Structure 1
Amino acid sequence: MDEFLKWYFSDRPVVASSLGADGYDHTLGDFTASAWTARERAEERWLERLSATEAASVDDAIDRDLVLSQLRGSIALASWPEWRRDPVVYLSAIFVSMYTPFQRRLKPEPELVASAVSRLAEVPGVLAACRANLDPELAAPLLVTRGLGQARTGRNFLTRTIPSMIEDPGLRAKVAEAAEPAARAFDELVAFLEGFQCGGTWRMGERLYSTLLRERELLGYGAAELHEKGKAAWAELDGRMREVARRINGSGDWRAAMESLMDDHPPTLADMRSEYEAETQRARAFVRERDLVTFAEGEECQVLPSAEYTRPILSVAHYLAPPPLTSSRTGIFFVPYTPDDFTPEQVRQRLRTNSRAQMPSIAVHEAYPGHHWHLSYMAGSTSTPRKVFRTPYFTEGWALYVEKLLHEQGYFDTPATELAHLDCRIFRAARMVVDTALHCEDMSVEEAETFMATKASLSPGTAQGEVNRYCAWPTQAPSYLTGAIEIDRIRESFQGSLKEFHDRIAGSGGLPLGLAEQAALG
């Protein structure tokens, strides 16, 4: 396993440094076509080698099977090469590698600057590889347009945002100077993408989608079954929400009730951040008072505006975990700010989808005892593979599971917050329906946007951003409710207290759900 991880980190230095591994901060890695194909061959060799390895213990077997599931998923995706389809593959590596170190500040500023300057020198080469590798027959216009929106933020991000995060004037000037050639490379990429003609599809297809569910996520079913589970969950939640809505507006029309609740929102983006910070602290105090989990020593959750480069492609709150290969236990709950070019009405709609009724559920999900508690706690694991590899079917499933947990514990103590909690859940059921339908060719983008805007309480603009994300990230959107349902099922078989169950299953990592069940139940 040590040999495998050494290869994995060397092949993916941005991932390695994001996890906190030493020695990888100076480079972005090789994005040429030959590197991608060499990676695919190496993964097949590692799969064969690790499959033949006997495990000395149950824990070792789980570690091995975790890595095997990741390899099988990656090898399956070789038939759907993102690096030929989507410019965001290249852009995300640059943005993450430049932004995250200055956000976390785990090293002295001169070291951070030296690494940034080294990586900036590689940006033109990475973006040249993007232009060379994108295949007009495979790349989809939707994905290219999405990438173009992010690429347009590149110059400002490198020449203004990153330098503004550096305190020393001399070091700031050094980064600004190094950023200019990289910014010109972004300008060239923008011009290239604006003229890039392509005709590929973003639809993954049922066969590969189901393969990923079974072999990477270790679920016992495929896309068709997942779709039906989503429809059944939506119908059950719809009935519950009608009952709660009657206590709000007397009609049982939960969409109308949510529309009225969404009008009570923070007046500005800055106020939204401030109110989320207060709600995060309230959730933390509640979880500690109820003794639902064991807290990691020294954990801290910062609540900050979302990074500028994520705003064109992410319309919802999200979270940056502590780097698990370091001693840091500080995570960041990013509040979903809008791009600078949004109109006042678009900003208002964003604020409406972060209303005061919805904030408790979102803070629980992102912070306590959701993502932040989980990922700060599991960073103390003694298993390196479990720190490195995790699946959204557990991590997102956990965050939605604890929303239901806190509802059971009485955290959502008004009809408004209870309805908003259920709305967050029915939204995830709608995702299960839409994501499977989109990628199995049963629904158009327009139909999906309408579905999300009418079957969940999303504004048309937010629904559009959500569907855009589903098209670009197949199988991720259903992970929330799928994982929550599976974790609930595992809890029913656990002999012990709630706290013991939570510490055991979440402390075991972010495992595929079949392995999480083994870790929790032995």
Structure 2
Amino acid sequence: MTQCRYDPSVVDAFLDHHWTYHPVDATFMGSKDHDGRLPPCGPETVSGELATIAALEQRLANTAEPAELGDRLDRRMMLAELALQKAAATSRSRLSNPAWYSGEAAFAIISLLLPQSAPVRQDSLVERLDALPAFLTSALERLNGQAVPDSWTARAWREAVAMAEFLRVDIRLHDEFSQHWTAPANAAADAFDAFASGLTGFADADPACGENYLSLLMNTIHGLDFDPREAVRRAEEAFDRIGDELVEMAKSIDPAKSWQELIAGLSDNHPADTQAVFESYRQYDVAARRDGAMLVMPAQEYGLEYRWMAPCFRKVSQSLYFLFYRSPPGLNPGQGSVYWVTPPGEDFDAFLRGNNAAIVKTIHSVHHGSVGHHTQNTRARSAQSRLARIAGTDCALGLAFLGSGTLIEGWACYVEDLLMEASGFYEPAEILLLKQYERRNAASVLVDVKLHLGDWSITEAMAFYRDKAGFAPARVEGEVVRNSMLPGSRLMYWIGVEGIKTLRSRWKGDTLSFHDALLSYGHVPLAWIAEEMQRAGQLN
């Protein structure tokens, strides 16, 4: 059969389809055309979605591979995402997850109140508030009689209760609050309460997605050339090896202390007061840009403003997937991003120790700010692929298109280690902490895969994180619930880092040119970037 020439306008059709079923994603991406809508969840939703997927797949399948890089990556991204959407709709529907409803409902409102959406689109906000009661009523009708993992139900309940309080109380603290929000916000709060009360009577369900679904995620979405069992083998070897490395590294720093003791001691090196904590975020961001400039060109043309978290969000953020740094809306980025700094709570000592120099350096200034996600997101907006400019958008539950994750999360974790090449940026014990991060990422591969192959239960996964991988007890439950809801989303950190290291070892040019080239592709699977670099003759 003769193939047609690829038509770039199919991207518009794909986005229109995606935003029809995910209008909150559209808001986060910067498209304002769906700001007043909530996702459809009625009885015809799945059949309508599958029909559109089939039409788009047919339109794409009849086209030849494009010669232009951007078109080639767009076509590949659409085919992969459509394959995942089809598999999810038929075997793992979001419409069967109560936490999907609570998350979409919550961020339908919050997305319009964040700095990236300023000024608030008043009409759209009220329109969504007005639509929430019907949406949450339909959600309970849809969930009726279904088996649901208990942990998903518990998460949905927490989110719904938190949003009800936010809409009655804390939304009034928003800088642009208007009295005409009051009545629809109160009605929406009542709907959240009713939704929370209705989350009863579900039989517990196994959250495992199964080997076939996980293989689709790894091979088609992430572009990996190995299967889930091989991922387990590699991660187990790395987990054990890194454990041994931690022991030897600790001996070289202080033979009298274990690596756990040395890392715990890092919390003692913290600023003296609240303002000094805030200033440390900026100071280490500046230092990371300065010291890392010989390794990667930091984004200077797009701002990153550190602010205390707005009072209206301080309480609700504790119960939601509320990120202190979000990818800017690629379709409407403005002049810069906001980075929230969480103010002290009742335990002031915990606040100071939690904002120790090592944490602020590694997590805030490098992983998310400066040369991490901030630089990466800035570069992505210039990618030749239209979808690669927005695929890594942080949405209500995670990345807009999961396939972008090996590059996005792989880069942010890789660049933490990259700053070890900047002499003097880290202290020896901070380098030990980075090694622990590496081990935790390998541990997350094991949970991600073993949980969804059915090898481990949620209880067993939690025990592994707590007893073997050294995760903080307060973080364990939320981490495993996220693993269970989003298969294939935690393996991409460690696998992404390993993939970037391999690519760098094969790069024909210098370090700066490698990182510039890597980030120029935008948010696409790292494995595809490797193929494109090979195609361009850039790799040994």
Fold conserved between structures, TM > 0.5: yes
Deviations 1:55-97 (A, max 9, x none): 4424111210011111112222224334343222122222223
Distance in 2 (CA, whole Å) between partners of 1:302 and 1:93 is: 27
Q: Indicate whether 1:122 and 2:142 are aligned.
A: no
Aligned mates of 2:484, 2:108 — CA distance in 1: 25
Q: 1:108 to 1:451 in 2, by over 3 A?
A: closer
Inter-partner Cα distance in structure 1 for 2:288 and 2:532? 27
Structure-2 residue corresponding to 1:103: 114
1:113 to 122, 129, 139: 122
- CA separation of 1:294/1:260 partners in 2, compared to 1, >3 Å: closer, same or farther? closer
Contact 1:47 1:68 survives alignment (8 Å): yes
* Pairs within 5 Å for 1:76-225: 76-109=87-120, 112-134=121-143, 136-167=145-176, 172-193=178-199, 195-225=200-230
Aligned AA (1:9): W
What's the RMSD between the two structures over aligned residues? 2.8
**Aligned equivalents of 1:439, 1:269: Cα separation in 2:** 43
Q: Per the alignment, do residues 218 and 501 of structure 1 end up closer, same or farther by CA in structure 2, a change over 3 Å counting?
A: same
Q: Offset at 1:382? A: 4.4
Corresponding residue for residue 311 of structure 1: 318
C-alpha contact 1:84 1:139 (8 A) present in aligned 2: no
Q: Counterpart of 2:266? A: 261
Give the counterpart of 1:302 among 293, 301, 306: 306
Structure 1, unmatched stretches of 5+, are: none
- CA offsets per residue over residues 120-152 of structure 1, 9 Å max, x none? 111112111211122544311111011111111
**Long gaps (5+) in structure 2:** 1-9, 393-403
* 8 Å Cα contact 2:416/2:434 also seen in 1: yes
1:477 to 490, 501, 509: 490
Q: Which residue of 2 aligns with 1:28?
A: 38
After TM superposition, the structure 1 stretch with the greater mean CA deviation from structure 2, 497-506 or 352-361, is 352-361
Out of 388, 398, 408, the position equivalent to 1:386 is 388
Of 313, 317, 326, the match for 1:320: 326
User: In structure 1, what is the Cα distance between the partners aligned to 2:459 and 2:232?
Assistant: 19
Equivalent-residue separation in structure 2 for 1:228 and 1:333 (angstroms): 38
| Deviation readout 1:195-239 (Å, 9 max, x if unpaired) | 333222212222211221111111111211111121122123222
Do structure 1's residue 61 and structure 2's residue 66 form an aligned pair?
Answer: no
Secondary structure of the residue aligned to 1:435 is helix
SS at match of 1:43: helix
Match of 1:451 in 2: 464
Aligned with 2:410 (options 397, 413, 422):
397
Pair 239,17 (structure 1): closer, same or farther in 2 beyond 3 Å: same
Whichever residue aligns with residue 115 of structure 1, its letter is S
Query: Aligned AA for 2:169?
Result: R
Compared with structure 1, are the counterparts of its residues 271 and 124 closer, same or farther at alpha carbon in structure 2 (3 Å cutoff)?
A: farther
The alpha-carbon deviation at position 455 of structure 1 amounts to 3.5
Change (3 A) 1:39 1:348: farther
- The alpha-carbon deviation at position 444 of structure 1 amounts to 3.0
Deviations 1:443-465 (A, max 9, x none): 23333223223434432122233
Go from structure 1 to structure 2 and tell me whether the alpha carbon gap of 1:349 and 1:445 turns closer, same or farther (over 3 Å shift): farther
Question: How has the CA–CA distance of structure 1 residues 335 and 435 changed in structure 2, closer, same or farther, with 3 Å as cutoff?
Answer: farther
Stretch of structure 1 that moved more, 243-252 or 11-20: 243-252
Partner of residue 524, structure 2 = 511
Task: Give the % identical residues.
Answer: 24
Per the alignment, residue 423 of structure 1 pairs with 436
Task: Quote the offset at 1:265 in angstroms.
Answer: 5.2
- Work out the CA distance in 1 between the residues paired with 2:159 and 2:338: 21
Quick one: which amino acid aligns to residue 154 of structure 1? M
User: Please, which moves more after superposition, 385-394 or 294-303?
Assistant: 294-303
Distance 1:411 1:36, change over 3 A: farther
- In 2, distance between residues paired with 1:229 and 1:148? 37
CA 1:411–1:161: 2 relative to 1, 3 Å: farther
SS at match of 2:306: strand
Query: How far apart, in 1, do the equivalents of 2:352 and 2:129 lie?
Result: 35
User: In structure 1, what is the Cα distance between the partners aligned to 2:222 and 2:117?
Assistant: 32
Q: Which residue of 1 aligns with 2:396?
A: none
CA distance in 2, matches of 1:516, 1:101: 34
The one-letter code sitting in structure 2 at the alignment partner of 1:25 is D
Are the aligned partners of 1:311 and 1:337 in contact in 2 as well (CA < 8 Å)? no
1:376 maps to 378
Q: CA deviation at 1:520?
A: 3.6
Q: What is the CA distance between 1:354 and its match in structure 2?
A: 5.4
C-alpha displacement at 1:154, in angstroms? 1.2
Residues 1:360 and 2:367 aligned together: no
Q: Counterpart in 2 of 1:462?
A: 475
Return the offset for 1:381.
2.8
Distance 1:102 1:126 in 2: 20
Give the distance between the partners of 2:49 and 2:352, measured in 1 at CA: 43
Deviations 1:93-120 (A, max 9, x none): 22223223322254544xx222101111
Q: Which amino acid aligns with 1:64?
A: R
